[in-house]
Structure 1
């Protein structure tokens, strides 16, 4: 099986435009993101848009030797499908580029589980039954499930958010496995969506060497530093 990570990336975030190219600890957020994804040992693909506003994303990919695919801004499902098909992926790990502290080792462990229990209908994720901090999210599914969603999904939420057709089991045949942390740390937020999110993440990179910390070390740090948690604890995640 050819397994690859596809990360969706664009510059026109509504709450924090250009967030993925903001800089902390000497690197832009997108560089931190792909560096940590590389821990998984899997190939990485950036799925961006055809808009001129996303030319900087393409320039970043080219500069760093990362494969990229350009597709529709709003129809992210078609963008994922096109990227996976063009690169011959049998299995897709879906992540989003607003997770500069994502953990590739955690993804690697989940991919190993997926391979050991593989069926074309298996869906593995740590995001549906959430016990990890927001910002460590991933989903793993077959190209067959992605293609079925691409061919049959009609709801706007399906198209904008890629996987609802799959994880809401519209086909009736999806087999679920939920990756769960030992303790529930879902209240922590290390994703990048607002200025306060960036304030926390910048602090983590520049004052606590977060680029090299595992997710367990990050959780331990937040456990012992409630003042850090408070920086963005008030942020409400956007709903589907």
Structure 2
């Protein structure tokens, strides 16, 4: 990489085939598909140079691909199961020096939290090659951000062999700290009990309630406004409080 500013590309992995909530990335929030809001919120992160969506080559992804192409969002299509390969080729095709990994089930992701994670990485790169605010849980689920260099992604792509390492992209990196310089980003306030991701119907109902409450008056709402909403409406966070989180490898 040259001395010029590294090119930061956010790659959002998305698919229509979720087993727990099929087609969730196209479910409506404030009149637009969930994937629209994920990309829109990433667009408010100043450190990101480009946002692309990486999905599979399966026919069932057609509604997702057609929607994204219709609103001018770049789409890369690759392996359904080997998401690590999908990320590697997408990053290569879009000339990424630094990759920001985001999943499409996070319509309440925080531009502020993602921006902070990227800034910490860039400030300390190349001392650190991988940074995450989710490896040690302290931020809400659904604000997860992983940042890593293309060279680290290439090494993981070449060396990772186990199926869950290929499916989940980054386990090979963070399970081998002796090979990679890892930076964990910890929240100054412990918010790990908050669940803002969308895996189940109840998660979607919570996300919809947040969007219905905040988006019409402030489409740029962030984590502060969400927390304030929950303080004023404590019953809202009970909507999905009984969901068991599926961990990587289960």
Q: TM-score range by the shorter chain?
A: over 0.9
In structure 2, how many angstroms separate the alpha carbons of the residues matched to 1:211 and 1:74? 34
How much has 1:133 moved relative to structure 2? 0.9
Residue of structure 2 in register with 1:237 after alignment? 245
How much has 1:74 moved relative to structure 2? 0.7
SS at match of 2:54: strand
TM-score (norm 1): 0.95
Give the 5 Å matches for 1:187-202.
Answer: 187-202=193-208
Please tell me whether residue 206 in structure 1 is matched to residue 206 in structure 2.
Answer: no
Please tell me whether residue 215 in structure 1 is matched to residue 223 in structure 2.
Answer: yes
Deviation >2 Å, runs of 4+: 207-212, 219-226
- CA offsets 1:88-112 (integer angstroms, 9 cap, x no match): 1111000000000112232222222
Please tell me whether residue 37 in structure 1 is matched to residue 37 in structure 2.
Answer: no
Please tell me whether residue 79 in structure 1 is matched to residue 94 in structure 2.
Answer: no
In structure 2, how many angstroms separate the alpha carbons of the residues matched to 1:238 and 1:90? 31
How much has 1:222 moved relative to structure 2? 2.3
How much has 1:138 moved relative to structure 2? 0.7
In structure 2, how many angstroms separate the alpha carbons of the residues matched to 1:69 and 1:94? 14
Please tell me whether residue 70 in structure 1 is matched to residue 81 in structure 2.
Answer: no
RMSD (Å) for aligned C-alpha atoms = 1.4
Give the 5 Å matches for 1:1-240.
Answer: 1-41=6-46, 42=48, 43-119=50-126, 121-169=128-176, 172-209=178-215, 211-240=219-248
Are the equivalent residues in 1 in contact too, given 2:106–2:198 (CA < 8 A)? yes
In structure 2, how many angstroms separate the alpha carbons of the residues matched to 1:120 and 1:79? 26
Structure with the largest fraction of helix = 1
TM-score (norm 2): 0.91
How much has 1:217 moved relative to structure 2? 2.1
In structure 2, how many angstroms separate the alpha carbons of the residues matched to 1:89 and 1:120? 19
- CA offsets 1:16-54 (integer angstroms, 9 cap, x no match): 000010002111111111111111132101000000100
Are the equivalent residues in 2 in contact too, given 1:121–1:173 (CA < 8 A)? no
* Structure 1, gaps ≥5 residues long: none
Are the equivalent residues in 2 in contact too, given 1:120–1:145 (CA < 8 A)? no
In structure 2, how many angstroms separate the alpha carbons of the residues matched to 1:216 and 1:168? 32
Are the equivalent residues in 2 in contact too, given 1:101–1:211 (CA < 8 A)? no
How much has 1:120 moved relative to structure 2? 7.0
* Structure 2, gaps ≥5 residues long: 1-5
Q: 1:168 to 1:103 in 2, by over 3 A?
A: same
Are the equivalent residues in 1 in contact too, given 2:85–2:166 (CA < 8 A)? yes
